[in-house]
């Protein structure tokens, strides 16, 4: 039988496996791609990173991001956060002032690096209220004592900086007066003693007065009760004391000592359980002595508990826990004290029936930053393993290691047992490497990256790689996961979220309320119900109060109806079908607080030409500016805006709105422009925004061309009544990078 002719060399080469890329080139290309993916993700996910608090020298550390807030009430058991009292402060448009009132950023701003503030104590002197607190220096990793002063009953605070700095850690600055002197007894347990300092230039300069006790006490306080001075503190030096927080008591006829040990030390509560550590200054209310303690709450650290002291004598002590309820923050990480609190100081204001309290709080649990770093590194590690696996599958990386690396050494040993152990260990290593090499030979080159079927596998693996990279980037560089508010001049505030809807859009409303009620600065959500059966409270899942305002007439003018029940200066008008991040809302709120006389929003438009023609955002960007902000997503001063809208001069404009069932936001822009010769609009670019009406099919303006035509008609009519709009405002003119 004749032999078959040899195959052409060209055909033979075509059927050969395509050469795999080299390992260095593969690794370089893969890592470069993942790096670009991480950078792109961080730009989209963290548009305001780093947060302004971080850029001002305030970086929360592994112990948390503690800050301090002020509370007021008719009694120490009816305290409410300061924002509930509706107290306003003109500078920074803080209407109302909201907690927290002191943060690490405030301390850093006056030249003292700080990573958190905690353990605040109040000291009232005349019309001034002083706050002393621990501030941790991130450079020395040491606690110092800082102070602030308020001249308006705790509404605003002026930072005085660090007032006591030693070579060791200081905290828990309990301040009291005795005779004509003012004393401070901070925790200095690192030195193993309890020291007392006296003010020589209150509140800025202190000097050591004496050592009260030769014990490493923490959370110590002194209280005068029934003719004696009582010192209460916890000694954590004994075995297991850090878990139990054993409470000890001493008594004396003077706060300067000498101190006598209580016979029941350490103090036990009901059931022979250790008593809770001090969590603030004891107080007297209705002739009863109450002690503030802090108890462990599982993973959340400590929580505040009030104890009523039933007996306190030289040989007897008994206390019972009493109900103490503060408004529990429901916004979790988006609330400044959403995770934990462990300190409270309450005092009665002079010549007043009101009480003031100051509490510390943290939005994250202890060790949160370490946890996020660990999880992020795990995601990055998984991505690296997957990169190596993919390299082996396509043949770019050879998964073989030489066995000679793991042969036993032949040097002489005096100890035969050591030689046997080394041989056994090398044998186990050799077995492991043999199995790794066997696995490498099994997977090596199994995927042909030029075949379409195998390219699908590669695409899936690359997608998993990108997801792992995004997750790792989010955990490591995404901060603590909170969408925090932005302070103005160190002050925080709140706003009311207002939306107008009807029964066919109830699906949108449920998502709207559940999402936006978590935002840090949202005080209340007002739903203007224009048509159909109004929802009841139980149908909406919200973390803030929701008020349903049912209207008798279905008109767009209801959006700006004067509402005296609104408790904030700012109102965020937001359509219920627009979803954006809480950080976008917080950035817009910050810009409005800087320009409270303007309409600040997220959707710019341009009206120009003769006659005026309504143009979209793309056209506005091409022309380099805008002069209209849509009020379907905009901040405004509700008293200013609503009064202008419902003025007699605007009556004909409201009639035009009703006739077209459109243009209410255009009318408001004209009314603002008519009242000022300067710019009246400000644009904030959202990181992302989704129009949910595209999914629900209940959009009011489905025909864009017809919608714009009606708005151009409105422009022509309004310009004839109210004059022209303000001149075009350029993008990227504010300098904060949020209006590009």
Give tens-digit pLDDT for 665-704.
Answer: 999 999 999 888 788 999 999 988 988 766 655 555 667 8
φ/ψ region of 287 (left if φ > 0, alpha if ψ in -120 to 50, else beta) reads left
Percent of the chain with pLDDT over 70: 81
Residue 436, pLDDT score: 60
**Residue 95, Cβ neighbours under 10 Å: how many?**
22
DSSP state of 51: P
DSSP state of 56: T
Distances in whole angstroms, Cα of residue 644 to Cα of each of 483, 633, 669: 33, 19, 10
Position with higher pLDDT, 438 vs 681: 681
d(CA 571, CA 500): 13
Q: Is the pLDDT of residue 29 over 80?
A: no
Q: Is the dihedral of CA 236, 239, 244, 247 positive or negative?
A: negative
Question: Where along the chain do its domains lie?
Answer: 60-366, 370-406+419-478, 495-730
Q: Is the pLDDT of residue 92 over 80?
A: no
Window from 548-552, 657-661, 697-701 with minimum mean pLDDT: 697-701
pLDDT class for 60, splitting at 50, 70, 90? Answer: low
Position with higher pLDDT, 717 vs 450: 717
Stretch 276-294: mean pLDDT, rounded? 92
Q: Say whether 719 sits in a helix, a strand or coil.
A: helix
Residue 288, pLDDT score: 94
Which residues are CB-neighbours of 527 under 8 A, at least 6 positions away? 499, 500, 501, 509, 513, 535, 546, 547, 548, 549
Residue 56, pLDDT score: 43
pLDDT class for 58, splitting at 50, 70, 90? Answer: low
Window from 367-371, 426-430, 622-626, 666-670 with minimum mean pLDDT: 426-430
Percent of the chain with pLDDT over 90: 54
* Tens of pLDDT, residues 496-539: 999 999 887 888 899 999 999 999 999 999 999 999 889 887 88
Question: Catalytic one among 219, 368, 575, 665?
Answer: 665
φ/ψ region of 739 (left if φ > 0, alpha if ψ in -120 to 50, else beta) reads alpha
d(CA 586, CA 522): 9
Residue 333, pLDDT score: 86
Q: Does the annotation mark 665 as catalytic?
A: yes
Please calculate the CA angle 527-557-682 and round it to the nearest 5 degrees.
Answer: 80
Q: Is the pLDDT of residue 338 over 50?
A: yes
DSSP state of 140: T
Residue 252 sits at φ, ψ, to 5 deg, of -160, 165
Q: Is the pLDDT of residue 272 over 60?
A: no
DSSP conformation letters of 67-136: EEEEEEESSTTS-EEGGGGT--BTTTTBSSEES-SB-HHHHHHTT--BS-EEEEEEEEETTEEEEEEEEE
Residue 408, pLDDT score: 53
Please state the pTM of the whole predicted model. 0.84
DSSP conformation letters of 272-341: GPBPPEE-S--EEETTEEEEEEEEE-GGG-EEEEEEEEEEESSS-EEEEEE--------SGGGSTTSSB-
Residue 52 sits at φ, ψ, to 5 deg, of -55, -30
Half-sphere exposure of 102 toward its Cβ, with a 13 Å CA cutoff?
35
Q: Which CATH architecture fits 495-730?
A: Alpha-Beta Complex (3.90)
Q: Is the pLDDT of residue 736 over 60?
A: yes
d(CA 496, CA 535): 19
pLDDT class for 397, splitting at 50, 70, 90? Answer: low
Residue 14, pLDDT score: 41
Residue 563, pLDDT score: 96
Residue 480, pLDDT score: 72
* Tens of pLDDT, residues 213-265: 998 899 999 999 989 999 999 887 765 555 556 789 999 999 998 999 999 88
Residue 26, pLDDT score: 65
Residue 359, pLDDT score: 96
Class of domain 60-366: mainly beta
Q: Is the pLDDT of residue 304 over 70?
A: yes
Stretch 354-358: mean pLDDT, rounded? 95
Residue 475, pLDDT score: 84
**Residue 61, Cβ neighbours under 10 Å: how many?**
15
Residue 9, pLDDT score: 47
């Amino acid at each position: 039988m004749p032999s078959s002719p040899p195959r052409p060399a060209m055909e033979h080469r075509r059927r050969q496996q395509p050469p795999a890329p080299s390992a260095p080139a593969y690794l370089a290309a893969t890592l470069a791609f993942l790096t670009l993916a991480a950078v792109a993700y961080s730009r989209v996910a963290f548009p305001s990173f780093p947060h302004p608090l971080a850029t001002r020298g305030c970086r929360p550390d592994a112990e948390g991001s503690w800050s301090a807030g002020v509370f007021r009430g008719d009694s120490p058991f009816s305290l409410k956060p300061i924002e509930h009292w509706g107290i306003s402060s003109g500078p920074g448009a803080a209407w109302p002032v909201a907690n927290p009132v002191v943060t690490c950023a405030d301390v850093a701003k006056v030249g003292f690096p700080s990573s958190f503030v905690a353990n605040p104590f109040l000291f009232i002197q005349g019309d001034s209220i002083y706050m002393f607190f621990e501030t941790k220096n991130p450079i020395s990793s040491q606690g110092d004592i800082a102070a602030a002063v308020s001249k308006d009953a705790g509404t605003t605070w002026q930072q005085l900086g660090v007032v006591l700095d030693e070579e060791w850690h200081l905290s828990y600055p309990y301040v009291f007066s005795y005779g004509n002197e003012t004393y401070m007894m901070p925790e200095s347990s690192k030195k193993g003693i309890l020291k007392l300092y006296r003010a020589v230039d209150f509140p800025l300069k202190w000097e050591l007065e004496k050592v009260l006790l030769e014990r490493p006490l923490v959370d110590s306080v002194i209280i005068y009760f029934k003719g004696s001075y009582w010192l209460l503190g916890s000694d954590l030096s004994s075995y297991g004391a850090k878990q139990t927080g054993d409470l000890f008591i001493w008594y004396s006829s003077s706060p300067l000592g000498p101190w006598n040990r209580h016979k029941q030390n350490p103090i036990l509560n009901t059931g022979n359980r250790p008593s809770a550590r001090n969590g603030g200054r004891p107080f007297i209310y209705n002739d009863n002595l109450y002690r503030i303690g802090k108890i462990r709450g599982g993973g959340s650290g400590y929580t505040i508990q009030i104890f009523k002291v039933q007996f306190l004598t030289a040989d007897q002590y008994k206390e019972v826990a009493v109900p103490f309820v503060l408004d529990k923050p429901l916004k979790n990480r988006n609330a400044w004290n959403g995770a934990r609190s462990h300190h409270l100081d309450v005092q009665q204001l002079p010549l007043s029936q009101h009480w003031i309290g100051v509490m510390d709080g943290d939005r994250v649990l202890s060790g949160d930053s370490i946890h996020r770093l660990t999880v992020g590194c795990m995601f990055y590690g998984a991505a690296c393993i997957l990169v190596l696996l993919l390299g082996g599958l396509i043949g770019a990386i050879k998964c073989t290691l030489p066995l000679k690396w793991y042969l036993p050494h032949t040097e002489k040993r005096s100890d035969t047992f050591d030689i046997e152990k080394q041989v056994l260990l090398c044998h186990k290593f050799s077995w492991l490497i043999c199995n790794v090499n066997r696995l490498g030979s099994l997977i090596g080159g199994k995927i042909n990256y030029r075949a379409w079927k195998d390219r699908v596998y590669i695409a899936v693996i690359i997608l998993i790689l990108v997801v792992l990279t995004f997750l790792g980037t989010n955990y490591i560089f995404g901060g603590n996961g909170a969408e925090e508010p932005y302070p103005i001049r160190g002050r925080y505030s709140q706003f009311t979220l207002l939306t107008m809807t009807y029964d066919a859009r109830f699906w949108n409303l449920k998502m709207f309320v559940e999402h936006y009620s978590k935002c840090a600065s949202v005080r209340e959500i007002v739903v203007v119900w224009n048509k159909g059966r109004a929802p009841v409270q139980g149908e909406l899942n919200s973390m803030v109060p929701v008020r349903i305002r049912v209207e008798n007439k279905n008109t767009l003018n209801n959006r700006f109806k004067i509402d005296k029940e609104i408790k904030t200066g700012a109102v965020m008008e937001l359509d219920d079908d627009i979803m954006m991040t809480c950080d976008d809302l917080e950035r817009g709120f910050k810009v409005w607080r800087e320009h409270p006389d303007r309409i600040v929003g997220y959707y710019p438009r341009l009206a120009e030409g003769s006659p005026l023609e309504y143009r979209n955002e793309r056209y506005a960007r091409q022309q380099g500016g805008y002069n209209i902000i849509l009020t379907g997503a905009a901040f405004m001063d509700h008293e200013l805006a609503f009064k202008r809208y419902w003025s007699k001069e605007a009556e004909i404009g409201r009639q035009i709105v009703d006739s077209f069932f459109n243009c209410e936001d255009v009318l408001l822009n004209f009314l603002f422009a008519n009242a000022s010769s300067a710019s009246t609009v400000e644009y904030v670019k959202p990181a992302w925004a989704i129009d949910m009406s595209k999914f629900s099919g209940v959009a009011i303006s489905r025909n864009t061309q017809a919608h714009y035509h009606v708005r151009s008609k409105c422009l022509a009519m309004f310009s004839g009544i109210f004059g022209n709009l303000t001149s075009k405002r350029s993008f990227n003119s504010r300098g904060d990078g949020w209006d590009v």
